[in-house]
Amino acid sequence: MYPNWILQRAYVTPFRDALTYEGQTWTFQQLNELSLQRARQLTALGLTQGNRIAIMGPSKPALVVMMYACMHLQCEMVMLNRRLSQAEIAYQLEDSQAQLVLVADEDVEKLPQHTPYHVFSVIEKSNEQHVDIAKEWSLNQTTSIMYTSGTTGFPKGVRQTVGNHQASATASVLNIGLQADDVWLCAVPLFHISGFSILVRSLLYGNKVQLYEQFHAEAIAQNIVDGDVTHMSVVAVTLERILNTLEQNNAQASPRFKLMLAGGGPVPVDYLKRASALQLAVAQTYGMTETSSQTATLASEDAMKKIGSAGKPLFFNQIKIDKPNEQGEGEICIRGPHVTPGYIGRFAERSATEEGWLHTGDIGYMDEEGYLFVVDRRADLIISGGENIYPAEIENVLLAHAAVQEAGVCGFQDDKWGQVPIAFIVVKEQLALTDLQQYCEENLAKYKVPKRFMIVDELPRNGANKLLRRKLASLLSSE
C-alpha cells in the first residue's frame, strides 16, 4: 500500500505553491481542501468510492480539483477528449460503461443526448456528505483510463494504475532530476497522458505547475525568456512555434529554464539544431498511453551527440527491437512497471503484453551504444514498389525548408507502385510547389519524393497536437 498522493503532499509541504493559472496561485493544502470538499459534494450527489466515471473539461483549475476529488474517492476516471465528436464520445462512454460524466459547464453541449451527467457549477454549489477518504492506495488500483487515438479499428480504453503512474514519475525524476523551486509549464491537455502525468509528478515531487488552458506561443516564450518556468512538455509543432517566436524576437531561453521534453513522435533534426542555437535544452522522449508517459528520454548532455534519438530506457524500463531487418529496424517492444495491465470494454480480454513485453506498433532501432531511434509508426509505413518509406523522414526534410511551417505525409494508392507518398504543407510564406519538388529531389531518394504536394490551412491533429496521418487523405476531398 502507498499513501494517497494528495493527502501526503498536503501533509509534507502544505504551504508550497502547487498550481498557477492566469495569475492566481493555490498551495498544496488549498488544492487538497478544495478537492476534499468536492469529494464530499460528489458523495452527496450519489457517487460512491470506486465508481467508474467519465470527466471532461478544459485545462483549468476546476478540472484539476475535480480530478483530485475523484482520486480521493478512488474512482476510475475515464478521461474524455473534449475535441472529439459526439459519436466518438458516445463510443467511449458506451465502451467504458462509465456511470456518469462530470463535465465543465462549457462542454455540456459536446455530450451525446441522454448522457447522465453532473455539471461542475452544480457540483460546486451542492451540499456535502461525509465520506471516509482512504489514506492509502493499492498499486493495482486503476486511477485513469485513456482511449488511444485508434490508428486502426476501434480506440482502446487503456488502464493506468497507481503503480503505473508512480513508476513513470519516479523513473522520470531519476533521469532529469527536480528541485523544490522548479516549475513545470503545462500547455498540453490534462485529459492526455502528457498533461495528467505533469499533475502526478507535481504531487509526487512537490513542484509547482503553471497551467495554460491552451497553447499560447507568445506568452509561453516569454515565460521561458523570463525564467518563470524550468520545464515544459511539447510536441514537434508546439516546439516549432516556440522556436519561431524566440527567433522573431531575437530572444534566448533564460539560464533558469532547464529542459523541454519533446514527445508525440520524432522531432525534426532541424528543430533540435535551432533550439540549441537559442540555448533551449530539448530532450527527445518516447512514450505512449500504454506506458503512462515516458519510456525513454535522451539525457540533455547527449542532445547534440545523439541528434534524432529518443535516448535510453528510463531506470526501471526495458526496450527491445522485435524481428529487426538488415538495418536493425523492427518493432519497438517495452517492459516495465509503467506498462498498463490491460484494457477495458471490447478489448478487456486482450492481453496488453506478450510474455511481459508491450508491442508498440512503432518502428525503431537501437544503436551500438543502446540509444533508441524511433523511425515511424508501423501503421503509417508506405510501401512503394517494394521499398519501405517512412513519412517522418520526408516530413523532416520538408520541415527544414524555410517556407514550410508544418508538413504531413501519407501513402496514396497507386496502380503502378502500390502506394506513393503525398505531402500536405502549411506554409509560412508564399511557396512555389515546383521549388519544393526540386528541394525534395535534392534531399531525398527519388522514390521518396512526394508525387504530389498540397498546400492546406491546417493539418489534422488530436487533442495533444499529434499529427493524425490517417486523416490526411481526407484533405484531398476539400479541393
Query: pLDDT tens across 394-438, in order?
Result: 898 899 899 999 999 998 888 778 789 999 999 998 999 999 999
Return the CATH architecture of domain 381-478: 2-Layer Sandwich (3.30)
Stretch(es) of the chain classified as CATH 3.40.50.980? 2-137
Its pTM stands at 0.84
Q: Which fold has domain 164-379?
A: Rossmann fold (3.40.50)
3-state SS class at 270: helix
Average pLDDT over residues 345-358: 93
Q: Is-contact 341 140, C-beta < 8 A?
A: yes
The gap from C-alpha 357 to its chain's centroid, in whole angstroms, comes to: 21
Stretch(es) of the chain classified as CATH 3.30.300.30? 381-478
CA 348, CA 164: separation in Å to the nearest integer? 18
Cell numbers for 319, please give them. 526496450
Query: pLDDT tens across 226-236, in order?
Result: 999 999 999 88
Q: Residue 151: what pLDDT?
A: 46
CA distances from 275 to 221, 246, 449 (A): 12, 10, 27
CA 452, CA 86: separation in Å to the nearest integer? 34
Q: Which fold has domain 2-137?
A: Rossmann fold (3.40.50)
The closest alpha carbon to 86, from 67, 107, 58, belongs to 107
Stretch(es) of the chain classified as CATH 3.40.50.12780? 164-379
The H-assigned helical ranges of 45-191 are 61-72, 86-96, 120-124, 162-176
Q: Is-contact 464 189, C-beta < 8 A?
A: yes
Q: Residue 445: what pLDDT?
A: 77
Query: pLDDT tens across 324-336, in order?
Result: 988 899 999 999 9
Query: pLDDT tens across 196-226, in order?
Result: 999 999 999 999 999 999 999 999 999 999 9
Query: pLDDT tens across 276-311, in order?
Result: 899 999 988 999 899 999 999 987 678 778 888 899
Q: Is-contact 32 202, C-beta < 8 A?
A: no
